[in-house]
Structure 1
């Protein structure tokens, strides 16, 4: 019998069809680059299932027994069938792509005008209300934002613009996340259970990447200028040019008027060597992107995770330090 017929995992279609006996493979993928949690489910098609059918737009959920626990919990819920690909080689199979309902925020566009003084939390509440999403536990970001004029663009890009401004102004980093209770907003690294990953225990492979891709060792900060005139240079901030060479970024902000503020803004853009760690090992099926984990007793954040569900299953994590995550995902 497969792992899925041993009561470890369950896939339920349209809140009434339990597909466990038909499941051959389930993977779950989560990333700070995207808002929606994604599942890929491979099903064998029997005569009985042929009568039921499956199609994009149907409600679906994935549940499982959490690592080290007992009893099923929701792993991806509420979810919807987004795509179905069938193939027949003797036996017919269907590969189903599932997203949680935040996919609507990623795929839908709109325009918004927000006054100054609102927080990312208040704006998220507005987005959710307009798009018919129930709210779950939403953290208070506590940072007042500037006036925003968002022309036609995906809703998720607006959410991230709000969250980036929150972080740039000294606030914490947050991530929207769909839960069974509704759309939530969680602070990165705030998970109650912090899993310890250790070589020769639950980690099979560790790969480290160090690169100058994305590094910035010098920042030229420009002020505002009339049309057809060169922008004035308010500050030239230099970092590790002796070590890594000159990798310059130009930062232009019409709100900057003095050299002190310009230098401060430029210093925030400096970043040296970029380092990420990829870990493969036994699956801990409740780890999500944005969670904190300990790798050999060092605190790191999860940039992305891929769960290959099973008993025990496998997972692949990309990890990085907080400063890297702030620069890569929450810099303006």
Structure 2
């Protein structure tokens, strides 16, 4: 197996490894690993909280690079059915942002970039790459919730304001705010097996109304003020209406932009299995034939060559599904 598992920067567990599985998804912040080991008498004690890393040789290269690093042992379980085995559950260190809660009150006109600096400083996470997200956000009051929930609320508001799509990642040099689809190496997926294509009108919207929150007058209920209405493909798919109530929309132009971004027809996702390319992450662009698609989730069984299962979607579908709901 062309992979290394190093505990606490000094113990090489690689000779004891039976299997390694990794999972990455836009639905979670932390890259997750599962390592199955054979337990030997000279094996170092392994406890939750210990530092660990997984390195491997990327597709087409010769040298090892960190794949899951910096990571932490989160769970340890052992079994014994004649041979003693151990299963380690690992996460990269963004898991602390997902498992920790706090309260934040942010003033208006900050960007997600400015807020990420605050999150990272509070949780003592080194920043590797932090682009300017540019869009100024409204005042935000985040009551007790996970740090990641607050982060993602900032990223969704950025997208709703017409900004780019970002997803936090932990890389070996620290926390990265990754722009979806910005990977330099765009792999063409070949030698595919078990390809499934799903197309549905579930969640479609051919008419979108943006409303201001209704304010009662002298105790009487009044209709909400309509800020914008946008329509598309009603003749093709029928009238499927969605309502957006958003007090942060300050202009008619912004309301129309938000309404247009919510219009959606057929949602298409593609699931497939292929030989593993171990550096592909959730949020990366890949090519499937002539289609440029975003990786929504990836599960890999590492080996030589190993295998990966991918869920893919178009950029627009990913934007609507994760950032505009």
Match of 2:213 in 1: 224
- Does the CA-based 8 Å contact 1:9-1:63 persist in structure 2? yes
Q: Residues of 1 paired with 2:47 and 2:203: CA distance?
A: 41
| Aligned equivalent of 1:99, options 73, 81, 91 | 91
Check if 1:14 corresponds to 2:3.
no
Q: Residues of 2 paired with 1:21 and 1:221: CA distance?
A: 59
- Does the CA-based 8 Å contact 1:220-1:233 persist in structure 2? no
Q: Deviations over 1:136-180 (max 9, x none)?
A: 121221222112111111110111111111111111111111011
- Does the CA-based 8 Å contact 1:222-1:231 persist in structure 2? no
Task: Give structure 2 stretches of 5+ with no counterpart.
Answer: none
Match of 1:319 in 2: 312
- Does the CA-based 8 Å contact 1:216-1:249 persist in structure 2? yes
Q: Residues of 1 paired with 2:304 and 2:215: CA distance?
A: 65
Please tell me the root mean square deviation across aligned C-alpha atoms, in Å.
Answer: 1.8
Q: Residues of 2 paired with 1:41 and 1:255: CA distance?
A: 45
Number of residue equivalences: 321
Q: Deviations over 1:246-276 (max 9, x none)?
A: 4332211235587766444333221111101
Q: Residues of 1 paired with 2:143 and 2:124: CA distance?
A: 21
Cα separation, partners in 2 of 1:236 and 1:140, compared to 1, 3 Å: closer
- Does the CA-based 8 Å contact 1:119-1:145 persist in structure 2? yes
| Aligned equivalent of 1:270, options 263, 267, 271 | 263
- Does the CA-based 8 Å contact 1:279-1:318 persist in structure 2? yes
1:231 CA displacement: 3.3
Task: Give structure 1 stretches of 5+ with no counterpart.
Answer: none
Q: Residues of 1 paired with 2:30 and 2:251: CA distance?
A: 41
- Does the CA-based 8 Å contact 2:138-2:248 persist in structure 1? no
Match of 1:239 in 2: 232
Match of 1:58 in 2: 50
Q: Residues of 2 paired with 1:138 and 1:264: CA distance?
A: 26
Match of 1:283 in 2: 276
Match of 1:44 in 2: 38
Any idea what SS the aligned residue of 2:42 has? Answer: helix
Q: Residues of 2 paired with 1:92 and 1:181: CA distance?
A: 36
Q: Please, which moves more after superposition, 163-172 or 215-224?
A: 215-224
Q: Residues of 2 paired with 1:139 and 1:115: CA distance?
A: 20
Structure 2-normalised TM-score?
0.93
Q: Residues of 1 paired with 2:301 and 2:144: CA distance?
A: 37
Check if 1:187 corresponds to 2:179.
yes
Please identify runs of 4+ aligned residues in structure 1 that moved more than 6 A: 257-260
Q: Residues of 1 paired with 2:250 and 2:222: CA distance?
A: 15
Cα separation, partners in 2 of 1:259 and 1:117, compared to 1, 3 Å: closer
Check if 1:27 corresponds to 2:21.
yes
Match of 2:245 in 1: 252
- Does the CA-based 8 Å contact 2:215-2:224 persist in structure 1? no
| Aligned equivalent of 2:293, options 296, 300, 308 | 300
Q: Residues of 2 paired with 1:169 and 1:10: CA distance?
A: 43
- Does the CA-based 8 Å contact 1:42-1:94 persist in structure 2? yes
